[in-house]
């Protein structure tokens, strides 16, 4: 059995790989590498005073694949007022849940006489490990073109939407958000919570509206998936069902398909994957990334009052203009110029390994210990083991967002908890 493991990452995935290793009988040393401010929670559930909610119902947020009601039982014991399985609770509560699991994990490691240490900087040179688990989570969004180096490092460009520097932002001019998905929604609510009252303009390539989770969760329609498992058949199937089913039943059909989408994805040819990326990823992302009704109501109020304007558009330039940022963009075939407090980049995490800024990923890639997948959506891994392909002298596993190119759906707790168990068992069974 391997004796020394490095787990790199301070979020859900890192915690759950370690927990699964311990539960399944690991003996030896685990070094967990975390960044200073991670609180072992990651950006999603880190202590954040804004009243943001989970985007997934309580009943689907258990950290353990074999114990689906674990999170609901935690809520019943600690937060009974919000424990209904169908609810969406505050993310800070989920942070409490993860902290509790991490504390238990540390206790379990002591009882099992496992050396579990938190370490702050990962040294790629240390070839002392039998296995490395990359649980590094979301990369920062790619810096848009049209922005000078000087502006990128100024308060006019907020490149980390999960850690906005509110203190550096002025309250007079409107705020510009690039992207209009879940991160935009979080950002708008966080800005309001932090006291920013000015108008917000959000643009994205397609300008799709966010969809709302249906109230009830039961798919009553019996629908059979197509026999042919290719992209064309899948698109045809969803197009047909969209017309045949009610809106709610259609969304629930999409939910029921999500857990098996990875299996379909792996059967798609390279051309089909590229076609999906080019033509369908935004539609699919909009349909499956939904917000709870309470959040949708707040966003709707913002839009109706004109305080939030969401448009399809394209950023052209961002320049410093005295106390504000001058932003030029195209929307509705018109070039628009305006002075803004800043631009907040909510375009989603960088997925191209070659463009990632994470020092560990950069270093491992430069040594070719890890390789990009063919569609540049993360690390090339073996789907059934999560082992990275490459020339590494030790086994390297990847979990979560880094595995998108191979699995496509590899982001939410439902996916990560199963991956954590799979990786832990793989490590324990390896020589």
Residue numbers at the binding site for ligand FAD (CB under 6 A): 8-14, 33-35, 38, 42-44, 54-56, 122, 135-138, 162, 186, 358-360, 400, 411-413, 416
Residues in a beta bridge with 4: 29
Do 32 and 158 meet the contact criterion of CB atoms below 8 Å apart? Answer: no
Do 399 and 17 meet the contact criterion of CB atoms below 8 Å apart? Answer: yes
Distance set, CA 352 to CA 3, 10, 349, 372 (Å): 32, 21, 9, 7
Paired sense of beta strands 211-212 and 290-291, if any? parallel
The two tokens of residue 430 are 């390896």
| Minimal distance, residue 90 CB to ligand FAD, in Å | 10
The two tokens of residue 322 are 């005295």
| Smaller CB separation from ligand FAD, 302 or 415 | 415
Q: What is the DSSP letter of 402?
A: G
Return all residues near 308 (Cβ < 8 A) that are at least 6 apart.
Answer: 188, 199, 200, 202, 299, 302
| Minimal distance, residue 50 CB to ligand FAD, in Å | 11
Angle CA 399–402–403, to nearest 5: 70
| Smaller CB separation from ligand FAD, 10 or 378 | 10
| Smaller CB separation from ligand FAD, 106 or 242 | 106
| Minimal distance, residue 10 CB to ligand FAD, in Å | 4
Distance set, CA 115 to CA 28, 31, 160 (Å): 6, 8, 34
| Minimal distance, residue 95 CB to ligand FAD, in Å | 10
| Smaller CB separation from ligand FAD, 44 or 234 | 44
CB atoms within 10 A of CB 36: 8
| Minimal distance, residue 226 CB to ligand FAD, in Å | 27
| Minimal distance, residue 352 CB to ligand FAD, in Å | 16
Closest listed residue to residue 163, CA positions, set 289, 11, 346: 346
| Smaller CB separation from ligand FAD, 123 or 263 | 123
| Smaller CB separation from ligand FAD, 53 or 231 | 53
| Minimal distance, residue 46 CB to ligand FAD, in Å | 8
| Element containing residue 65 per DSSP (H, E) | none
Name the one residue in this structure whose structure tokens are 């080019």.
Answer: 278
> Coil, strand or helix: which one is 16?
helix
Do 316 and 328 meet the contact criterion of CB atoms below 8 Å apart? Answer: yes
| Smaller CB separation from ligand FAD, 102 or 329 | 102
| Minimal distance, residue 115 CB to ligand FAD, in Å | 19
Paired sense of beta strands 200-204 and 308-312, if any? parallel
| Smaller CB separation from ligand FAD, 31 or 273 | 31
| Minimal distance, residue 136 CB to ligand FAD, in Å | 4
> Coil, strand or helix: which one is 9?
coil
| Minimal distance, residue 320 CB to ligand FAD, in Å | 29
| Smaller CB separation from ligand FAD, 186 or 373 | 186
Paired sense of beta strands 324-331 and 334-340, if any? antiparallel
Q: Left if phi > 0, otherwise alpha if psi is -120 to 50, otherwise beta: which for 428?
A: alpha
| Smaller CB separation from ligand FAD, 55 or 351 | 55
């Amino acid at each position: 059995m391997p004796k020394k493991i490095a787990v790199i990452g301070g979020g859900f995935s890192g915690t759950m790989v370690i927990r699964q290793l311990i539960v399944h009988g690991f003996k030896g040393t685990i070094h967990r590498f975390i960044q200073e401010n991670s609180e072992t929670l990651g950006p999603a559930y880190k202590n954040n005073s804004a009243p943001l909610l989970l985007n997934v119902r309580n009943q689907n947020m258990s950290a353990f694949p074999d114990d689906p009601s674990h999170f609901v039982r935690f809520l019943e014991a600690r937060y009974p007022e919000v424990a209904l399985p169908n609810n969406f609770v505050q993310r800070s509560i989920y942070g409490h849940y993860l902290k509790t699991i991490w504390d238990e994990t540390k206790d379990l490691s002591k009882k099992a006489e496992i050396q579990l240490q938190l370490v702050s900087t990962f040294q790629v040179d240390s070839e002392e490990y039998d296995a490395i688990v990359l649980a590094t989570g979301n990369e920062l969004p790619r810096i848009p073109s049209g922005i000078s180096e000087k502006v990128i490092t100024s308060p006019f460009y907020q490149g980390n939407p999960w850690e906005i520097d509110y203190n550096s932002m002025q309250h007079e001019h409107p705020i510009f958000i690039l992207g209009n998905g879940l991160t935009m929604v979080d950002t708008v609510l966080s800005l309001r919570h932090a006291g920013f009252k000015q108008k917000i303009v959000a643009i994205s390539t397609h300008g799709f509206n966010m969809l709302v989770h249906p109230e009830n969760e039961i798919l009553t329609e019996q629908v059979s998936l197509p026999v042919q498992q290719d992209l064309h058949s899948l698109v045809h199937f969803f197009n047909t069902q969209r017309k045949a089913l009610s809106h709610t039943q259609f969304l629930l059909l999409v939910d029921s398909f999500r857990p098996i989408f990875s299996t379909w994805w792996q059967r798609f040819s390279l051309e089909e994957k590229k076609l999906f990326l080019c033509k369908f990823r935004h539609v699919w992302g909009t349909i499956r990334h939904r917000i709870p009704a309470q959040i949708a109501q707040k966003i709707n109020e913002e839009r109706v009052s004109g305080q939030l304007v969401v448009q399809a558009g394209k950023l052209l330039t961002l320049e410093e203009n005295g106390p504000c940022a001058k932003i030029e963009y195209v929307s509705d075939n018109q070039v628009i110029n305006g002075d803004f407090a800043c631009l907040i980049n909510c375009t989603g995490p960088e997925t191209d390994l070659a463009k990632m800024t994470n020092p560990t990923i950069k270093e491992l890639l430069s040594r070719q210990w890890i390789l990009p997948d063919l569609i540049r959506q993360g690390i090339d891994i073996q789907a059934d083991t999560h082992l990275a392909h490459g020339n590494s002298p030790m086994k390297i596993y990847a979990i979560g967002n880094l595995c998108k190119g191979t699995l496509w759906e590899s982001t939410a707790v439902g996916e990560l908890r199963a991956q954590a168990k799979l990786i832990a068992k793989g490590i324990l069974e390896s020589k």
